[in-house]
């Protein structure tokens, strides 16, 4: 359902209630693909939606204006969850000028075969009438083409992937759902999508800090109008890899419970020091849940028995996933049991060293602690 944000500014996105796996990351509350419509002297669509939702998206537009009235289409980001409907919209509104960054134009051509894109420059302003859009490229938040668009007259930041959350809901604003719900979804979104790009997030935050903002309109989830300071300060903290020295995550798998005995012992010791411990058996835990638990944890222990001269596949997957997202400035502890060859602890140590984590003494036990 369409949502008015301010006079002549509308949310025209769609809810995806069914999605539970967003390119490898679990989304227990589904997601939305947000797009926006500005009705001014020049009518402008900002972003589109994932391809299967094209009919709903087009119907939202039709309720507010005719396709032949659209003057501009802004593509803040060409990942298919935001550009999937672009070809059909462009076909229905051939007169509309499409705007994207230079990288966006390349990706739109590669994905959709479209080459009629107007390339925007950092800080360039597109006047729409009483309102305007200033383009703020934010490369690698989340892809090389990513940008935000700012409307100074109404103090609206269309932030694209930044500040998003994967939540499908009939509610559209932060104060309607409340931070109790948003807390975990902002956390898992940052940990699984944004975490590798801390420096690029800081550059975006530097630009955002200079803006007067009433509403942040991201490309997923609810819009921020009440808790703007909260979400911006979370991004400040996470992008600087700030951690809680009292938070410990212990992630492991086990064959005959001996590595599990080590995990439990590490948990008991951490708890006796007053730390909050998250103990995750990776046989039953998705990697995206584990990295969310790690987002603010200073100490991260990873354990596996040796299996066929390697770690267990669950731990191999975890190490691959964590190394890709590369949380920084952590303290790692490798642990595991073995019978004869005993490679697992060394493999975990190497992964931690590859991420430049400090390491505490590893725990490697023959047969049984
Ligand atoms: Fe939501 Fe990077 O796309």
For position 4, what pLDDT does the model report? Answer: 98
Quote the tokens at residue 76: 């803040």
**Residue 79 is among the residues annotated as catalytic for this protein:** yes
- 82 C-beta closer than 6 A to ligand 1: yes
pTM over 0.85: yes
Instruction: Return all residues near 237 (Cβ < 8 A) that are at least 6 apart.
Output: none
- 77 C-beta closer than 6 A to ligand 1: yes
**Residue 142 is among the residues annotated as catalytic for this protein:** yes
Catalytic residue (choose from 47, 71, 77, 227): 77
Alpha carbon distance 151, 126 (integer Å): 10
- 142 C-beta closer than 6 A to ligand 1: yes
Q: Which residue has the tokens 């979104």?
A: 189
For position 366, what pLDDT does the model report? Answer: 98
For position 269, what pLDDT does the model report? Answer: 98
Ligand 1 atom with minimal separation from the 193 CA: 2
Q: How far is the CA of 194 from the centre of ligand 1 (A)?
A: 10
Side-chain-facing half-sphere of 229: CA atoms under 13 Å = 0
- 16 C-beta closer than 6 A to ligand 1: no
User: pLDDT tens, position by position, for the chain (369 residues)?
Assistant: 899 999 999 999 999 999 999 999 999 999 999 999 999 999 999 999 999 999 999 999 999 999 999 999 999 999 999 999 999 999 999 999 999 999 999 999 999 999 999 999 999 999 999 999 999 999 999 999 999 999 999 999 999 999 999 999 999 999 999 999 999 999 999 999 999 999 999 999 999 999 999 999 999 999 999 999 999 999 999 999 999 999 999 999 999 999 999 999 999 999 999 999 999 999 999 999 999 999 999 999 999 999 999 999 999 999 999 999 999 999 999 999 999 999 999 999 999 999 999 999 999 999 999
- 79 C-beta closer than 6 A to ligand 1: yes
Ligand 1 atom with minimal separation from the 33 CA: 1
- 50 C-beta closer than 6 A to ligand 1: no
**Cα dihedral value 282, 284, 290, 293, nearest 10:** -120
Ligand 1 atom with minimal separation from the 160 CA: 1
- 234 C-beta closer than 6 A to ligand 1: no
Strand 215-218 to 97-100 pairing? unpaired
What is the gyration radius of the CA atoms in the chain, in angstroms? 23
Q: Are 244 and 186 contacting, i.e. CB atoms less than 8 angstroms apart?
A: no
Ligand 1 atom with minimal separation from the 142 CA: 2
Q: How far is the CA of 81 from the centre of ligand 1 (A)?
A: 6
Q: Provide the terminal-to-terminal Cα distance of the chain, rounded to the nearest Å.
A: 58
For position 224, what pLDDT does the model report? Answer: 98
**Residue 112 is among the residues annotated as catalytic for this protein:** no
- Least Cα distance to 103 among 127, 85, 123, 76 occurs for 76
Alpha carbon distance 104, 144 (integer Å): 8
């Amino acid at each position: 359902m369409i949502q008015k944000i301010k006079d002549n500014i509308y949310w025209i996105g769609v809810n995806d209630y069914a999605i539970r796996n967003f390119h490898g990351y679990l989304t227990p509350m589904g997601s939305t693909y947000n797009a926006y419509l500005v009705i001014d002297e020049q009518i402008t669509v900002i972003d589109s939606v994932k391809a299967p939702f094209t009919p709903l998206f087009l119907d939202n537009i039709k309720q507010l204006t005719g396709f032949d009235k659209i003057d501009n289409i802004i593509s803040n980001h060409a990942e298919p969850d935001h550009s999937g409907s672009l070809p059909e919209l462009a076909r229905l509104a051939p007169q509309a000028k499409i705007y994207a960054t230079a990288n966006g134009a390349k990706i739109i051509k590669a994905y959709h075969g479209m080459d009629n894109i107007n390339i925007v420059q950092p800080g360039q302003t597109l006047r729409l009438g009483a309102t305007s859009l200033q383009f703020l490229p934010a490369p690698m938040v989340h892809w090389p083409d990513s940008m935000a668009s700012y409307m100074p007259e109404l103090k609206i930041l269309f932030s694209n992937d930044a500040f998003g959350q994967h939540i499908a809901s009939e509610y559209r604003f932060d104060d309607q759902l409340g931070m109790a719900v948003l807390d975990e979804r902002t956390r898992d979104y940052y940990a699984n999508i944004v975490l590798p790009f801390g420096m690029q997030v800081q550059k975006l935050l530097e630009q955002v800090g200079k803006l007067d903002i009433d509403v942040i309109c991201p490309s997923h989830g609810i819009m921020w109008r009440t808790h703007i300071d909260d979400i911006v300060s979370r991004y400040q903290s996470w992008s600087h890899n700030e951690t809680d020295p009292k938070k410990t995550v212990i992630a492991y798998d086990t064959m005959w419970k001996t590595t599990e005995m080590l995990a439990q012992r590490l948990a008991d010791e951490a708890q006796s020091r007053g730390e909050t411990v998250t103990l995750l058996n990776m046989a039953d835990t998705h990697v995206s849940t584990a990295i969310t638990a790690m987002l603010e944890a200073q100490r991260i222990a990873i354990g596996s028995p040796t299996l066929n001269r390697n770690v267990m596949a669950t731990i191999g997957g975890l190490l691959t996933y964590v190394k890709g997202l590369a949380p920084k400035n952590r303290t790692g502890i490798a642990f595991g049991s073995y019978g004869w060859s005993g490679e697992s602890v060394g493999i975990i140590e190497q992964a931690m060293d590859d991420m430049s984590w400090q390491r505490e003494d590893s725990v490697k036990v023959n047969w049984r602690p």
